Structure 1
Amino acid sequence: MSRFERYLTIWVALAMGAGMAIGILFPPLVQAIAAAEVASINLVVAVLIWAMVYPMMVGVDFGAVAGVARQPKGLLVTLVVNWLIKPFTMALLAVLFFDYIFAPLISPEDAAQYTAGLILLGAAPCTAMVFVWSQLTRGDATYTLVQVSVNDLIMVIAFAPIVAFLLGITDIAVPWDTLVLATVLYVLLPLIAGLLTRRALGSGAAVEAFTSRIKPLSMIGLIATVGILFGLQGETILSRPLVIALIAVPILIQSYGIFALAYGAAFVLKVPHRIAAPCAMIGTSNFFELAVAVAISLFGLNSGAALATVVGVLVEVPVMLSLVAFANRTRGRFAES
């Protein structure tokens, strides 16, 4: 993990502060960015999201999927947690907190927006930072690649229907055309571009060198997007500072709960630690780039849904580092075969 990645929470926090300052001091600039839309897709944010997602997709080798036969139980845990449990528990927690526990503190309109943002986070399993978490837990890099690759293949098909279903049961209007367009734009097309790039580069060494060179684009895109989002949300946040803490509560409960479930299942199934740790990390971490992009596409740059996804970014890094430390301390309790 580079120094920049290690302190990602700090950079995100600084981007939040800078964005709010710009939004308050130079509102015409932020509004001009917000107005740059075509078919509900913000062009500025679309470029930034591609800067985030493309380097990750170049690193995904779908040819490695065949390697799953070595340890199918690890992949099974990942897929069950990511697609049959995690989206639904996140939706449940969001409804529980924003429709009931926090209901006296926020308006129903804001509650619906925050719920939508958390649903988007819960339905988007990690595709990039998990490689960092895997490395820090001495995970099996090849198997981690298999898990991420299979997740990406499923995401292309399952993300939009799951999000539409969960948003529907929470009584939020779902613009299907925008949701499908966002999924194609931010998942399918980057995957295709990454595959074509890998083929053009040829060797694994060339791919690794290329991804190392373009990797900073991911972080730059993320920081810039956060700055824009908080530029639009600045006045709301300053007038209601409690909102960040409220959004963080269900995210924290979901993160630690999902990790405990996946890590515990891997332990019971006697999955080796080098697979069990990344397996749990994939389920816990989120593809927040996709969640942010779709929230903006569906609800707008200055929406509560977009704000909720950005809070997910702020919370995720310290949470994941704490789970990395826990996984490393408990390594000796797992099988090593």
Structure 2
Amino acid sequence: MGLFERYLSLWVALAIGLGVVLGSTMPGAFETVASWQVAQINLPVAVLIWLMILPMMMQIDFASVKQVGKQPKGLVLTLVINWLIKPFTMAALGWLFFRVVFADLVPTADADQYIAGMILLGVAPCTAMVFVWSQLTKGNPAYTLVQVSVNDIIMMVAFAPIAALLLGVSDILVPWQTLIIATLLYVVLPLVVGMLWRQALLKSGEAKLNGVIAKLKPLSMLSLLATVALLFAFQAQTLLAEPLVMVLIAIPLLLQSYGIFAVTYLSAKWLKLPHNVAAPASMIGTSNFFELAVAVAIALFGLHSGAALATVVGVLVEVPVMLSLVAFANRTRHWFTAPAQA
């Protein structure tokens, strides 16, 4: 890893601080930027995420996608964690902390809202950011693409019924436009651009392709930092106004994140998966599709609801948590078998 990537946690911390300062001193400017949305997807954030994942997409050798079927265990592990375990453990932790541990600190009505927001995060596995985490752990890009794509397909049919079951409502409103546009924007479009650009560069040789990807990687990391700064700037007022509530919500979310990663990572080791499949599989299960979770929370409970606040806290804790897990995964690469060959 280069100097920049090696100290990425420091740069993220600085980006967080910068975002809070700018958001608290220039709230009007960031309210305007936050309003630039299509189907509740913020366009500046979308562009930054797109820049983050494009280098990953360019590394995909589509001939190797055909080989994914020879290692189905990684895909099965991802699906079991995301749809049979994660939503229910998130709901259980939310209930435990806000109905028992924090019962004397939070009014019951507010507690119900926070639990609802946590549930929405648990039912929305990551779509876009996982490409960044996969790249940082030297994950197999073709396998990561298949894992994310299959999750997106299942999300189309499983998100609403599982969320409805755990929220205890019979008629949950899912912003399908948000879900579809996000899938196209974060997976399909950069995939097509990456594929076409890769093919064009390969005409000049593989060295040319590798050179362009190397030049794009710093842009990818800078886009990550800009995304972090922007998200914290959007929520700076809330962070400063309700620090205790944010901490209370963050505690079960942190336990959920590290717990899910541990279960997935150890299961991958038990299944004898190669590290370049095990690491992305664990990252997908740990991180969340925060754009969808925030959008549904706003649609169901309102912009200033406790549920919306809980999903925002999920956004705020995700990047530092995922960076710590990336570092752990890279240090434990020797636990696993040799990488799968394309």
Compared CA separation, residues 161 and 209, structure 1 to 2 (3 A): farther
Corresponding residue for residue 183 of structure 2: 183
Bigger drift between 284-293 and 225-234 goes to 284-293
Is 1:312 the equivalent of 2:318?
A: yes
Corresponding residue for residue 240 of structure 1: 243
Check whether the contact 2:121–2:289 (CA below 8 A) recurs between aligned residues: yes
Corresponding residue for residue 115 of structure 1: 119
Q: Show the 5 A alignment for 1:16-95.
A: 16-68=16-68, 72=70, 75-95=71-91
Check whether the contact 1:124–1:290 (CA below 8 A) recurs between aligned residues: no
Compared CA separation, residues 119 and 68, structure 1 to 2 (3 A): closer
> Which residue identity does 1:240 align to in structure 2?
P
TM-score normalized with structure 1 length = 0.81
Q: Following the alignment from structure 1 to structure 2, what is the Cα–Cα distance between the partners of residues 246 and 223?
A: 25
Check whether the contact 1:123–1:163 (CA below 8 A) recurs between aligned residues: no
| SS in structure 1 at match of 2:124 | helix
CA RMSD of aligned residues (A): 3.0
Aligned with residue 324 of structure 1, among 314, 321, 330? 330
- C-alpha displacement at 1:288, in angstroms? 8.8
| SS in structure 1 at match of 2:5 | helix
Q: Following the alignment from structure 2 to structure 1, what is the Cα–Cα distance between the partners of residues 133 and 158?
A: 23
Q: Percent of aligned positions with the same letter in both sequences?
A: 28
Aligned with residue 129 of structure 1, among 129, 133, 140? 133
> Which residue identity does 1:230 align to in structure 2?
F
Deviation digits for residues 210-258 of structure 1 (CA, Å, limit 9, x no counterpart): 1111122222222222212212222333332413334211111111111
> Which residue identity does 1:4 align to in structure 2?
F
Q: Following the alignment from structure 1 to structure 2, what is the Cα–Cα distance between the partners of residues 316 and 264?
A: 22
Compared CA separation, residues 222 and 296, structure 1 to 2 (3 A): farther
Corresponding residue for residue 213 of structure 1: 215
Q: Following the alignment from structure 1 to structure 2, what is the Cα–Cα distance between the partners of residues 287 and 222?
A: 20
Compared CA separation, residues 94 and 258, structure 1 to 2 (3 A): same
> Which residue identity does 2:74 align to in structure 1?
T
Q: Following the alignment from structure 2 to structure 1, what is the Cα–Cα distance between the partners of residues 24 and 333?
A: 42
Q: Following the alignment from structure 2 to structure 1, what is the Cα–Cα distance between the partners of residues 155 and 53?
A: 16
| SS in structure 2 at match of 1:166 | helix
> Which residue identity does 1:169 align to in structure 2?
L
Deviation digits for residues 120-173 of structure 1 (CA, Å, limit 9, x no counterpart): 246779334324324xxxxxx7xx244224324434533433434433333353
Compared CA separation, residues 111 and 20, structure 1 to 2 (3 A): farther
Deviation digits for residues 15-74 of structure 1 (CA, Å, limit 9, x no counterpart): 2222112221111011011111233232222221211122221222212123457xx3xx
Corresponding residue for residue 231 of structure 2: 229
Give the unaligned 5+ runs of structure 1: 135-140, 267-274
Bigger drift between 198-207 and 248-257 goes to 198-207
- C-alpha displacement at 1:95, in angstroms? 0.4
Q: Following the alignment from structure 1 to structure 2, what is the Cα–Cα distance between the partners of residues 336 and 247?
A: 31
Q: Following the alignment from structure 2 to structure 1, what is the Cα–Cα distance between the partners of residues 141 and 3?
A: 23
Q: Following the alignment from structure 2 to structure 1, what is the Cα–Cα distance between the partners of residues 129 and 234?
A: 27
Give the unaligned 5+ runs of structure 2: none
Compared CA separation, residues 217 and 335, structure 1 to 2 (3 A): closer
Corresponding residue for residue 277 of structure 2: 279
Q: Following the alignment from structure 2 to structure 1, what is the Cα–Cα distance between the partners of residues 34 and 208?
A: 38
> Which residue identity does 1:79 align to in structure 2?
L
Check whether the contact 2:136–2:326 (CA below 8 A) recurs between aligned residues: no
State the number of aligned residues.
Answer: 314
Corresponding residue for residue 256 of structure 1: 262
> Which residue identity does 1:119 align to in structure 2?
V
Check whether the contact 2:62–2:142 (CA below 8 A) recurs between aligned residues: yes
- C-alpha displacement at 1:320, in angstroms? 3.0
Bigger drift between 298-307 and 278-287 goes to 298-307
| SS in structure 2 at match of 1:46 | helix
Q: Following the alignment from structure 2 to structure 1, what is the Cα–Cα distance between the partners of residues 13 and 96?
A: 29
Q: Following the alignment from structure 1 to structure 2, what is the Cα–Cα distance between the partners of residues 197 and 110?
A: 44
